[in-house]
């Protein structure tokens, strides 16, 4: 009898469960930070689970990795220096490589085990680590950012898990302040910002912090990821105030990806219309996230 994977009684999703049929367990282990599970599912391909929470599946990872990367990188004309916080599976790195203007990518991932297992089981994602621009730092992001010179990055992507484990401090004010300091004027932050169906209070807290910290603009965007709780996930796009010269706000994308396919797998989810649509919110979310 094949078992099921589900999150249940998790404080983030009380009374909610989502199950995937496990065809074959491919890896089970524990790092100093979290439990790591990889299994073959019936219809979503391989699945990565950390502490009982689905992080990505072969089938729908494109939605999350492409949107969290291209929403910021298609908002500024020519990003050169990019920082990824988290993202140890390599998927975001794979997407950044589509932007020919990028010259260097720092990635700060706290858990070496996630990097190692994704290299073994998710070659379509960990291909991102092969990019010669990538410099890997294994450690705590707050520490890394504290040591980053001011105004270093054109874009920072916080590809974090949920704030109930190693990623807890990645939703607190001091962290956002170190991000703002590390961005160059006019630089842009995109971070994982939970579901508007489930966590509007957490999102409101993050919006308040970001509106104080980033004087440029702060926008909430969202997309569909079937295997995430509620089937939707959000992103916070924050622009640091800076020179108005050819700086666009995150909601006015620069069309530069269609056609500009780098070596490697084609884009499966992102396009300019999806970019614009991501910032269109249902009425309840406008009330709770824009007009509160």
Ligand X SMILES: NCCCN[C@H]1CC[C@H](N)CC1
Active site amino acids: 159
CA–CA dist 203, 205 (Å, integer): 5
The stretch near ligand X (CB under 6 A) out of 155-163, 240-248, 260-268, 270-278 is 155-163
Asked if 109 interacts with ligand X (CB under 6 A), we say no
Asked if 95 interacts with ligand X (CB under 6 A), we say no
Structure tokens at 115: 């990097």
Q: Which is nearer to ligand X, 96 or 247 (CB)?
A: 96
Exactly one of 76, 97, 171, 233 binds ligand X (CB under 6 A); that residue is 233
Angle (CA) 161-164-168 rounded to 5° is 80
Exactly one of 56, 71, 182, 206 binds ligand X (CB under 6 A); that residue is 56
Question: At 53, which helix (H) or strand (E)?
Answer: strand 53-57
* C-alpha dihedral sign at 268, 274, 279, 282: negative
Asked if 47 interacts with ligand X (CB under 6 A), we say no
Of 191, 271, 196, whose CA–CA distance to 237 is shortest? Answer: 191
The stretch near ligand X (CB under 6 A) out of 103-111, 157-165, 204-212, 250-258 is 157-165
Exactly one of 51, 66, 111, 159 binds ligand X (CB under 6 A); that residue is 159
Asked if 107 interacts with ligand X (CB under 6 A), we say no
Shortest distance (Å) from residue 190 CB to ligand X: 12
Q: Which is nearer to ligand X, 34 or 65 (CB)?
A: 65
Q: How many residues line the site for ligand X (CB under 6 A)?
A: 14
Structure tokens at 49: 């689970």
Shortest distance (Å) from residue 61 CB to ligand X: 7
Shortest distance (Å) from residue 112 CB to ligand X: 16
Edge-to-edge strand ranges of the sheet holding 53-57: 4-5, 20-30, 35-41, 46-50, 53-57
Q: Which is nearer to ligand X, 175 or 247 (CB)?
A: 175
Q: How many CB atoms lie within 10 A of CB 218?
A: 20
Contact 80, 72 (CB under 8 A): no
Exactly one of 72, 79, 91, 250 binds ligand X (CB under 6 A); that residue is 91
Asked if 111 interacts with ligand X (CB under 6 A), we say no
Please report, as residue ranges, which positions from 201 to 220 form the binding site for ligand X (by CB under 6 A): none
Exactly one of 20, 37, 49, 53 binds ligand X (CB under 6 A); that residue is 53
Shortest distance (Å) from residue 277 CB to ligand X: 20
Please report, as residue ranges, which positions from 174 to 203 form the binding site for ligand X (by CB under 6 A): 192
CA–CA dist 169, 167 (Å, integer): 6
Asked if 223 interacts with ligand X (CB under 6 A), we say no
Contact 94, 264 (CB under 8 A): yes
Asked if 162 interacts with ligand X (CB under 6 A), we say yes
Alpha helical stretches, state H, the chain: 61-73, 91-96, 112-121, 123-126, 141-146, 173-182, 200-213, 272-278, 283-285
Residue 181, C-beta contacts closer than 8 angstroms, at least 6 positions apart: 145, 148, 150, 151
Q: Which residues sit at the interface with ligand X, rule CB under 6 A?
A: 53, 55-56, 64-65, 87, 89, 91, 159, 161-162, 192, 228, 233
């Amino acid at each position: 009898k094949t078992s099921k994977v589900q999150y249940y009684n998790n404080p983030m999703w009380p009374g909610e469960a989502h199950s995937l049929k496990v065809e074959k367990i491919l890896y089970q282990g524990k790092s100093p930070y979290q439990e790591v599970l990889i299994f073959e599912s019936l219809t979503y391909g391989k699945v990565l689970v950390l502490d009982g929470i689905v992080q990505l599946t072969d089938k729908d990872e494109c939605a999350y990795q492409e949107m969290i990367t291209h929403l910021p990188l298609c908002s500024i004309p020519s990003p050169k220096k990019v920082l990824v916080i988290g993202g140890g599976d390599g998927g975001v790195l794979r997407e950044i490589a589509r932007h020919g203007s990028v010259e260097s990518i720092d990635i700060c991932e706290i858990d070496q085990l996630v990097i190692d297992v994704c290299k073994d089981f998710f070659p379509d994602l960990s291909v991102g680590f092969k990019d010669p621009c990538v410099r890997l730092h294994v450690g705590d992001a707050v520490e890394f950012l504290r040591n980053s010179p001011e105004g270093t990055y054109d874009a920072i992507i916080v590809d974090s898990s949920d704030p109930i484990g190693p990623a807890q401090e990645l939703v607190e004010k001091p962290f956002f302040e170190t991000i703002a300091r590390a961005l160059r004027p006019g630089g842009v932050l995109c971070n994982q910002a939970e579901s508007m169906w489930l966590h509007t209070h957490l999102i409101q807290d993050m919006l308040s912090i970001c509106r104080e910290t980033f004087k440029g603009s702060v926008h909430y965007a969202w997309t569909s990821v079937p295997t995430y709780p509620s089937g939707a996930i959000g992103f916070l796009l924050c622009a640091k105030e800076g020179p108005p010269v050819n700086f666009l706000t995150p909601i006015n994308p620069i069309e530069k990806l269609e056609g500009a396919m780098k070596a490697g797998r084609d884009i499966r989810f992102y396009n300019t219309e999806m970019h614009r649509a991501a910032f269109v919110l249902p009425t309840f979310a406008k009330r709770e996230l824009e007009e509160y």
